[in-house]
Amino acid sequence: MSSQQDKKDKDFSISPLGGQGVITIVGVGLISGSFAIALKEKGFAKHVIGVSRTEASAKKALELGIIDEALPLEEAVKKSDFIYVAIPVDATIPVMQQIMDLITDQQIVADAGSTKYVLCEALKDHPMRKRFVATHPMWGTEYSGPEAAVRDAFIGRACVICEKEKTDAAAVATVENIYRELGMNLIYMDAESHDRHAAYVSHISHITSFALANTVLEKEKEEDAIFELAGGGFESTVRLAKSSPAMWAPIFMQNRENVLDVLNEHIAQLRKFKACLEKENYEYLNELMNNANKIKRILK
Amino acid sequence: MSSQQDKKDKDFSISPLGGQGVITIVGVGLISGSFAIALKEKGFAKHVIGVSRTEASAKKALELGIIDEALPLEEAVKKSDFIYVAIPVDATIPVMQQIMDLITDQQIVADAGSTKYVLCEALKDHPMRKRFVATHPMWGTEYSGPEAAVRDAFIGRACVICEKEKTDAAAVATVENIYRELGMNLIYMDAESHDRHAAYVSHISHITSFALANTVLEKEKEEDAIFELAGGGFESTVRLAKSSPAMWAPIFMQNRENVLDVLNEHIAQLRKFKACLEKENYEYLNELMNNANKIKRILK
Contact B197, A244 (CB under 8 A): no
Contacts of residue A190, Cβ cutoff 8 Å, sequence gap at least 6: A162, A163
The answer to whether the Cβ–Cβ distance between A299 and B253 falls below 8 Å is no
**Which one has a higher pLDDT value, B14 or A109?**
A109
Q: How far is B89 from chain A (nearest CA, A)?
A: 14
Contacts of residue A63, Cβ cutoff 8 Å, sequence gap at least 6: none
3-class SS of residue B168: coil
Beta bridge partner(s), residue B26: B51, B85
What's the CATH number where A75 sits? 3.40.50.720
CB < 8 Å from A in window 94-153 of B: 138-141
For the cut 80, the answer to whether the pLDDT of residue B280 exceeds it is yes
pLDDT value of position B90: 96
Contact residues, chain A, for B233 at CB < 8 Å: 140, 202, 205-206, 240
Q: Nearest Cβ partner of B201 from A231, A242, A292?
A: A231
Contact A209, B292 (CB under 8 A): yes
CB < 8 Å from A in window 215-254 of B: 215-220, 223, 225-243, 245, 248-249, 252-253
Q: Looking at the structure, tell me whether residues A230 and A119 fall in a common domain.
A: no
Question: CA–CA separation, B53 vs B88, rounded Å?
Answer: 11
**A263 → chain B, closest CA residue:** B274
Contact A280, B223 (CB under 8 A): no
ipTM of the complex: 0.88
pLDDT value of position A225: 62
Question: CA–CA separation, B228 vs A298, rounded Å?
Answer: 9
Sign, Cα dihedral of A252, A255, A257, A262: negative
Lowest-confidence segment of A186-195, A277-286, A290-299, B36-45 by average pLDDT: A290-299
Contact B17, B41 (CB under 8 A): no
Q: Nearest Cβ partner of B236 from A160, A214, A239?
A: A239
**A153 → chain B, closest CA residue:** B232
Average pLDDT of span A105-117: 97
State pLDDT tens for residues A132-147: 999 999 998 888 999 9
Contact B82, B59 (CB under 8 A): no
The answer to whether the Cβ–Cβ distance between B290 and A138 falls below 8 Å is no
Last residue of a domain, one of A189, A219, A236: A189
Lowest-confidence segment of A87-91, A129-133, A185-189, B3-7 by average pLDDT: B3-7
- Burial of B13: CB neighbours in 10 Å, binned 0-12, 13-18, 19+: exposed
**DSSP E strand stretches across chain B:** 22-26, 47-51, 69-70, 82-85, 108-111, 132-137, 158-162, 185-189
Contact B299, B236 (CB under 8 A): no
Optimal mutation site among B136, B141, B186, B214, interface A, most CBs of chain A within 10 A? B214
Give residue A224's pLDDT band: very low, low, confident or very high (50, 70, 90).
Answer: low
Q: Nearest Cβ partner of B210 from A214, A264, A273?
A: A273
**A243 → chain B, closest CA residue:** B293
pLDDT value of position A3: 44
Question: CA–CA separation, B250 vs B265, rounded Å?
Answer: 21
State pLDDT tens for residues B175-193: 999 999 999 999 999 999 9
For the cut 90, the answer to whether the pLDDT of residue A20 exceeds it is no
Go through chain B and tell me how many residues it has: 300
pLDDT value of position B233: 79
Give residue A6's pLDDT band: very low, low, confident or very high (50, 70, 90).
Answer: very low
pLDDT value of position A218: 87
Q: Looking at the structure, tell me whether residues A241 and A167 fall in a common domain.
A: no
Contact residues, chain A, for B209 at CB < 8 Å: 237, 292
3-class SS of residue B13: helix
Contact A269, B214 (CB under 8 A): yes
CA distances from A112 to A85, A140, A215, A268, B276 (A): 6, 11, 31, 32, 25
Average pLDDT of span A156-160: 93
Give residue B3's pLDDT band: very low, low, confident or very high (50, 70, 90).
Answer: very low
Q: Looking at the structure, tell me whether residues B216 and B276 fall in a common domain.
A: yes
Average pLDDT of span B45-71: 97
pLDDT value of position B7: 42
Question: CA–CA separation, B287 vs A231, rounded Å?
Answer: 26
Q: Looking at the structure, tell me whether residues B7 and B67 fall in a common domain.
A: yes
Q: Looking at the structure, tell me whether residues B41 and B180 fall in a common domain.
A: yes
Question: CA–CA separation, B24 vs B95, rounded Å?
Answer: 13
Last residue of a domain, one of B130, B164, B189: B189
Average pLDDT of span A103-114: 97
What's the CATH number where B267 sits? 1.10.3660.10
Question: CA–CA separation, B211 vs B209, rounded Å?
Answer: 5
The answer to whether the Cβ–Cβ distance between B232 and A139 falls below 8 Å is yes
The answer to whether the Cβ–Cβ distance between B237 and A232 falls below 8 Å is no
Q: What is the mean pLDDT of chain B?
A: 91
Q: Looking at the structure, tell me whether residues A7 and A89 fall in a common domain.
A: yes
Q: What is the mean pLDDT of chain A?
A: 91
Average pLDDT of span B145-173: 95
Q: Looking at the structure, tell me whether residues B11 and B160 fall in a common domain.
A: yes
Q: Nearest Cβ partner of B249 from A198, A220, A289?
A: A289
pLDDT value of position B251: 97
- CB neighbourhood size of B4 (10 A): 8
Contact A251, A89 (CB under 8 A): yes
**Which one has a higher pLDDT value, A223 or A50?**
A50
The answer to whether the Cβ–Cβ distance between A295 and B213 falls below 8 Å is yes
Q: Indicate whether this model's pTM tops 0.90.
A: no
**A222 → chain B, closest CA residue:** B197
**B283 → chain A, closest CA residue:** A249
Last residue of a domain, one of A154, A189, A224: A189
State pLDDT tens for residues A66-89: 999 999 999 999 999 999 999 999
Contacts of residue A219, Cβ cutoff 8 Å, sequence gap at least 6: A226, B200, B262, B265
Contacts of residue B253, Cβ cutoff 8 Å, sequence gap at least 6: A277, A280, A282, A285, B90
Q: Looking at the structure, tell me whether residues B25 and B52 fall in a common domain.
A: yes
Amino acid at B87: I
For the cut 70, the answer to whether the pLDDT of residue B288 exceeds it is yes
For the cut 60, the answer to whether the pLDDT of residue B11 exceeds it is no
Average pLDDT of span B31-55: 96
Q: What are φ and ψ of residue B224, in 5° steps? A: -75, -30
pLDDT value of position B224: 63
Comparing CA positions, the residue from B170, B129, B112, B148 lying closest to residue B244 is B148
Contacts of residue A3, Cβ cutoff 8 Å, sequence gap at least 6: none
3-class SS of residue B159: strand
Go through chain A and tell me how many residues it has: 300
Contact A83, A26 (CB under 8 A): yes
Lowest-confidence segment of A9-18, B250-259, B287-296 by average pLDDT: A9-18
Contact residues, chain B, for A290 at CB < 8 Å: 245
3-class SS of residue B222: coil
**DSSP calls for chain A:** -HHHHHHHHHHHHH-TTSSS-EEEEES-SHHHHHHHHHHHHTTS-SEEEEE-SSHHHHHHHHHTTS-SEE--HHHHHHH-SEEEE-S-HHHHHHHHHHHHHH--TT-EEEE--S--HHHHHHHTT-TTGGGEEEEEE----S--SGGG--TT-STT-EEEEE-GGGS-HHHHHHHHHHHHHTTPEEEEE-HHHHHHHHIIIIIHHHHHHHHHHHHHHHHHTT-STHHHH--HHHHHHHGGGGS-HHHHHHHHHHTHHHHHHHHHHHHHHHHHHHHHHHHT-HHHHHHHHHHHGGGGGT--
Question: CA–CA separation, A42 vs A46, rounded Å?
Answer: 10
* CA B210 distance to own-chain centroid: 18
**A206 → chain B, closest CA residue:** B233
Q: Looking at the structure, tell me whether residues B128 and B109 fall in a common domain.
A: yes
Question: CA–CA separation, B242 vs A299, rounded Å?
Answer: 9
* Full residue range of the structural domain in which residue A216 is found: 195-297
pLDDT value of position A77: 98
CA distances from B197 to A83, A222, B160, B191, B272 (A): 50, 11, 11, 10, 24
Number of domains into which chain A is organized: 2
Q: Looking at the structure, tell me whether residues B217 and B143 fall in a common domain.
A: no
- What's the number of CA atoms in the CB half-sphere (13 Å) around residue B296? 10
For the cut 50, the answer to whether the pLDDT of residue B249 exceeds it is yes
Contacts of residue B287, Cβ cutoff 8 Å, sequence gap at least 6: none
Q: Looking at the structure, tell me whether residues A164 and A252 fall in a common domain.
A: no
Contact residues, chain B, for A139 at CB < 8 Å: 231-232
State pLDDT tens for residues A164-194: 999 999 999 999 999 999 999 999 999 999 9
For the cut 80, the answer to whether the pLDDT of residue B15 exceeds it is no
For the cut 70, the answer to whether the pLDDT of residue B13 exceeds it is no
Comparing CA positions, the residue from B193, B74, B175, B79 lying closest to residue B134 is B175
The answer to whether the Cβ–Cβ distance between B263 and A270 falls below 8 Å is yes
Q: Looking at the structure, tell me whether residues A185 and A238 fall in a common domain.
A: no
